[in-house]
Amino acid sequence: MNLNFTPRFTADASKKLLLPPTLQQPSNLQGLLKSGKVAVGIALSVPSTHVAKIVAVTGADWCWIDMEHVAWSPALLVECIQIIIHESAGKMIPIVRVPAKTSFDHMAWCLDAGAGGLIIPHIETVEEMKAVIAACRFPPIGHRSFSPFAFVPGVTDITPAGETVFSIANKHVALIPQIESNVGIANLDAILSMGEVSSFMLGLGDLRLEMNLPLAFSGNEPEFVEALQQATKISKKYDKPFFSGAFTKEMIKERLDQGGRLLLCGFDLHFLAFGIMSTLGDVRATVEEHMQGLESN
């Protein structure tokens, strides 16, 4: 076990890039994406403050909290977002996938809690993305409402000269549409051309199901390969990296070649389950081997 792991964004320059003026304000995920650096994250899929505290100190660059397929209560969601931020001293950025592209209330709660990015599932058109931008950006860009409960005036809302909590939020928070259909792929160029779109996620499993292909995260079917090639081309055209799972060495290399810079290395649920199973297997194998030795003597 490697107990000397050092998070890669601890250097002064990178820390300055990411950290907000106060920890009640969002970390600069947009700046990270524009820097071209590779950031590795882990998914928090177990709705638990205890698990969130453990995840927060692992050294991952960001944490994906999924609300689309996990029934998070709003109060627990807000608490876990803030745990990730404060337990990591702002070094881990919470990125939340909201339940749906019309979940504007959840978007507001996540942003007010300090989330550095939002993933918006099933985006297919520019019009849908415009509605998200309007809800998630402060004026003059959008119509996001200021929460009087998010800051202690003069303490947690401190900003550099010429900036406000509104301008910082607009500059730091990344809006990430999730593209997972043929319609979304067809409109990807127009969606990524929008200035407020920072990155995008390919929902490869759902995309394959939409194509009537077996559920998987990779494949060599012509239509699937063509969609990936098109997404890669458009990603590089606008210099907007995509968010993707990368669970093996081969997948990591493939995603990097395709322009991926936000790499999801795994899920807390899987690490917990497979870690326990691996340890149990090792212990049982040792017990069996030793008992056989005792019997042979």
Return the CATH number at 134: 3.20.20.60
Q: Using an 8 Å Cβ cutoff, are 80 and 44 in contact? A: yes
Q: How far is CA 83 from CA 78, 118, 126, 217, in A?
A: 9, 17, 34, 31
Domain assignment present for 160:
yes
pLDDT at 11: 40
**Amino acid at residue number 236:** K
pLDDT for 105 = 96
- Domain containing residue 48: 12-269
Q: What is the CA radius of gyration of the chain?
A: 21
Is residue 221 over pLDDT 50?
A: yes
State the residue for tokens 């009640």.
24
163 in any annotated domain = yes
CB-based contact 61:93 (threshold 8 Å): yes
Number of domains, the chain:
1
Instruction: Round to whole Å and give the CA distance between 56 and 160.
Output: 27
**CA distances (Å), 131 to each of 36, 183, 190, in order?**
27, 18, 15
Q: How many CA atoms lie within 13 A of 10 on its CB side?
A: 8
Would you say residue 189 lies in a domain?
yes
What are the pLDDT digits (tens) for 47-87? 999 999 999 999 999 999 999 999 999 999 999 999 999 99
Let me know if residue 123 belongs to a domain. Answer: yes
The mean per-residue pLDDT over the stretch 99-119 comes to 97
Length of the chain: 297
Q: Are 90 and 83 in contact (CB under 8 A)?
A: no
Quote the tokens at residue 209.
Answer: 């199901």
Q: What is the pLDDT of residue 4?
A: 47
Q: Is residue 287 part of a domain?
A: no
So what's the pLDDT on residue 8? 46
Look at residue 243 in the predicted model and tell me its pLDDT. Answer: 85
Q: What's the CA angle centered on 27, arms 21 and 32, to 5 degrees?
A: 120
**Phi–psi pair at 246, nearest 5 degrees:** -145, 95
> Are 145 and 137 within 8 A, CB to CB?
no
C-alpha pair distances (Å), 48 with each of 55, 60, 109, 134: 11, 18, 18, 31
Taking the C-alpha atoms of residue 67 and residue 100, their distance in angstroms, rounded to an integer, is: 9
Alpha-carbon distance values, 135 to 65, 123, 128, 213, 234 (Å) = 20, 15, 11, 35, 25
Per-residue model confidence as pLDDT tens digits over 186-217: 999 999 999 999 999 999 899 999 999 999 87
Cα angle 147, 151, 155 (rounded to 5 degrees) comes to 155
For residue 71, being part of any structural domain is answered with yes
Tokens of 25: 């304000």
For 213, the token pair is 């292909």
Look at residue 207 and tell me if it is in a domain: yes
290 lies in some domain: no
Average pLDDT, the chain: 91
Tell whether the torsion through CA atoms of 174, 211, 185 and 130 is positive or negative: negative
